[in-house]
Amino acid sequence: MDGFRPPRLQELPLNADPSAQLVLLDLQGQDATLAQLAHRRRTLPELTVIAELEQRAHELDSRRIELQTRVDDLGREQRKADAEVELVKTRRTRDEERLNSGQVSNPKDLESLQHELVALERRIGTLEDAELEVMESLESAETELAVVLEDLAGVAAEITTHAVTRDAAFADIDARTTEAAEERAVLAVSVPDDLLALYEKLRTQYGTGAAALRARRCEGCRLEINGADLREIATKPDDEVLRCPECSRVLVRTAESGL
Ligand SMILES: [Zn+2]
């Protein structure tokens, strides 16, 4: 088995004019441009910034709902406390009127009325203290809510600013993409169908479908082709479609191949 080498260059029953093979390199160039543009569109820094801001807005909005609920609850509590105070005050007024009218003359009744007035006064004091406490809590919740609303508005404005930048970048990328796609379509017309099909298949498989052979190196995998393979390549007719023995991409011979 001395000197045996498996045939590493795949013998493809595929032939194409060398000029069509060279077009494949331009096509590869456009595909690389399109892939870069798609990558740029996906990884635009604005997208990360906007996602972070949206997360912040989401958190702030949860806090806003909490605070709004608290403000509503405290407002209701305050109105209830206020009504209670009013009720007791009405009763105090009525008792005072009875006391001042002179209608109550029985000393025992008078004493009882005066006791009630003292109790009502104390009750009003307690209720008003409680109401004040509710009002203070309400005020602090309203202040906090106002801050959150302001923060929310600030974040929303920031999102809008970054969205404008993002949309401008998208428009630029999309225009370049359309241009590259159009150029690609023009190039694809001059590549024979079978070669194009092979190219597309390899592109799906490896990311790139064709590479130039320059200075004995495959520009697809960047590996230098060994001497034996180079000698074999040199014997192949110009119109035979070759594959890189290392990476299997279509290997296109150029004037600088070093053969
Ligand atoms: Zn290669």
Beta carbons of 217 and 208 less than 8 angstroms apart: no
What's the 243 CA to ligand 1 centre distance in angstroms? 8
Tell me which H or E stretch contains 214. Answer: strand 210-214
Distance, CA of 24 to CA of 32 (rounded, Å): 12
What's the 233 CA to ligand 1 centre distance in angstroms? 13
The band of 259, judged by pLDDT with boundaries at 50, 70 and 90, is confident
What's the 196 CA to ligand 1 centre distance in angstroms? 18
The predicted structure's pLDDT at residue 1: 42
The predicted structure's pLDDT at residue 41: 97
What's the 26 CA to ligand 1 centre distance in angstroms? 17
What's the 76 CA to ligand 1 centre distance in angstroms? 76
What's the 254 CA to ligand 1 centre distance in angstroms? 14
Angle at the Cα of 11 (from 247 to 221), degrees rounded to 5? 10
What's the 220 CA to ligand 1 centre distance in angstroms? 5
Distance, CA of 163 to CA of 161 (rounded, Å): 5
What's the 123 CA to ligand 1 centre distance in angstroms? 93
Q: What is the pLDDT of residues 161-177, one digit of tens each?
A: 999 999 999 999 999 99
The band of 2, judged by pLDDT with boundaries at 50, 70 and 90, is very low
Angle at the Cα of 113 (from 109 to 118), degrees rounded to 5? 150
The chain-wide mean pLDDT, for the chain, equals 93
Angle at the Cα of 25 (from 43 to 172), degrees rounded to 5? 30
Q: Reading across the β-sheet that carries 250-253, which strands appear in turn?
A: 217-218, 210-214, 250-253, 242-243
The predicted structure's pLDDT at residue 104: 84
Return the SS3 of 211. strand
What's the 234 CA to ligand 1 centre distance in angstroms? 16
Q: Which residues surround ligand 1, an ion (CB under 5 A)?
A: 218, 220-221, 244, 246-247
What's the 130 CA to ligand 1 centre distance in angstroms? 83
Q: What is the CB neighbour count within 10 angstroms for residue 163?
A: 15
What is the third-level CATH fold of 44-178? Helix Hairpins (1.10.287)
Distance, CA of 157 to CA of 255 (rounded, Å): 57
Return the SS3 of 165. helix
DSSP 95-147: HHHHHHHT----HHHHHHHHHHHHHHHHHHHHHHHHHHHHHHHHHHHHHHHHH
Distance, CA of 38 to CA of 20 (rounded, Å): 27
Beta carbons of 63 and 151 less than 8 angstroms apart: no
What is the pLDDT averaged over residues 130-150? 98
What's the 90 CA to ligand 1 centre distance in angstroms? 97
What's the 223 CA to ligand 1 centre distance in angstroms? 6
What is the pLDDT averaged over residues 105-109? 90
Domain ranges for the chain: 18-40+192-253, 44-178
| Residues across the chain | 259
